[in-house]
Structure 1
Amino acid sequence: MMKEKPAQPFPWKAFGLFITPIFLMNLMLPAHPQSSLDIAIDQFLDDQLFGVIGFWSSLFPFSSKVTANYVAIFGPLLAATSTYYAFTKKFESAKFTQLTLRRYLGVLAGGVMLPALFVWFFYLTSTDLGIGKGRYGNLFGSNVIFVSIPNVTLSLFTFVVAPFVVHRCLYYIPRHLIEKWLATR
């Protein structure tokens, strides 16, 4: 007898559609603006959108700037999709039955601080991957494919996992704790 796999509530198809342009932009766009259209796009990104934010590389300033702005603009749409999935997919877990108020407050602090940290990485600061001299040298800043990996990885956590964490911390667990408290009264 085969057991059915539990349905994953994560929107993997939406995430796949979201990350495909990240790789395509880094592969297809030139490292520096060359044509008049590239220069116009670069100027538009600096003047009208976010400019240099998130993870980018000074070795590929144009393509990585376009990618970082794409993530900043379309990431919230992926987060909205994830939030929709979090609220509409059935979720029951025995892990939360023995959760005390003290543990919940710790989970709540982490569940709120982690998405705030990720938003800080994408919107409030810029990290130049082209100047890294860490243990592996300039691995993520010197290769066109590897420039995409930090954007994809943090997009997964920020726009797919974080809405589920926030849903669990701000909706599911408090509802479960209130129901448990009302049952003991």
Structure 2
Amino acid sequence: MRTSKTFSRLSAPARITLVSLLPIFIIAAFMFLLPVGEFSSRLESFIDLHLLGRVGPWSSRFPLDSKVIANYIAVAAPIVSLVLILHWRQHRPRPAEPLLAMNRHRFVLLCCSILSIAAVMLYYSYFSYLDASQGRTKYRIFGESRVLFPVFAALYMVVFEYLLLAAYVLFVHYPLWLLVQRRSGN
């Protein structure tokens, strides 16, 4: 009973984000229980032929599990970001105060930062992959553990969702709001 009260107290964007993360943990639990067999090979060939294949956060320790999770992130993150953008537009018609008070040099630096981080995340989400079980030892634990990999993938998805929201605010909403303000003479 207390959990439902806590969940209902969360803001709508937080609830949307939490609901979008649940399939990552469900997929991780389901794929762990799935025996290696014909269904696994058909699922892998379906992902390779009809979806994006090996993209995004991936682990060579459990390739099929991470491939399914990465394809879910690649498909669901833009959709969830669109829902967050629509919610943001409805409830916050003007940009945040710190954005309005920012001088031009800092605004340009912020735009370049968001743009470069978004470019890297888009590259790894759709054109390449990030093998979490290889590389530096301090990050390898996420790729080697079946319990920690979904946490890593969920964090990746949250960053991707809110990065797309920030890119919308900086590159679409804020400039349009400025144009409307200048035309109205305020």
TM-score bracket, normalised by the shorter chain, equals 0.7 to 0.9
Equivalent position of 2:105 in the other structure? 102
Superposition map of 1:142-181 within 5 A: 142-159=144-161, 161-175=162-176, 177-178=178-179, 179=181
Q: Which amino acid aligns with 2:129?
A: S
> Does the 8 Å CA contact 2:25/2:150 hold for their aligned counterparts?
yes
1:11 aligns with 2:13: yes
In the alignment, the residues of structure 1 paired with residue 39 and residue 145 of structure 2 have an alpha-carbon distance, to the nearest angstrom, of 24
1:23 is matched with which residue: 9, 25, 37?
25
Equivalent in the alignment of 2:138: 135
Q: Which runs of 4+ in 1 moved over 4 A?
A: 7-10, 175-178, 180-184
Which amino acid in the other structure matches residue 59 of structure 1?
A: R
SS in 2 for 1:74: helix
1-structure distance, mates of 2:33, 2:66: 8
Structure 2, unpaired ranges of 5+: 1-8
**1:133, 1:92 → 2: CA distance?**
39
Q: How many residues align?
A: 176
RMSD between aligned alpha carbons? Answer: 2.8
Counterpart contact for 2:114–2:166, Cα < 8 Å: yes
In structure 1, stretches of 5+ residues that fail to align are 1-6
Q: Which of residues 33, 46, 49 is equivalent to 2:48?
A: 46
Relative to structure 1, the CA distance from residue 54 to residue 31 in structure 2 (aligned partners, 3 Å threshold; closer, same or farther) is farther
- Give the % identical residues: 19
After superposition, the Cα gap between the structure-2 partners of 1:23 and 1:93, relative to the gap in structure 1 and judged at 3 Å, is same
State which drifts further: 17-26 or 105-114.
105-114
Pick closer, same or farther for the CA change 1:173–1:59 going to 2, 3 Å.
same
Q: What's the secondary structure of 1:29's corresponding residue?
A: helix
TM-score between the two structures when normalised by the length of structure 1: 0.80
CA distance in 1, matches of 2:33, 2:88: 38
SS class of match (2:75): helix
Q: Structure 2: how far apart are the matches of 1:33 and 1:126?
A: 25
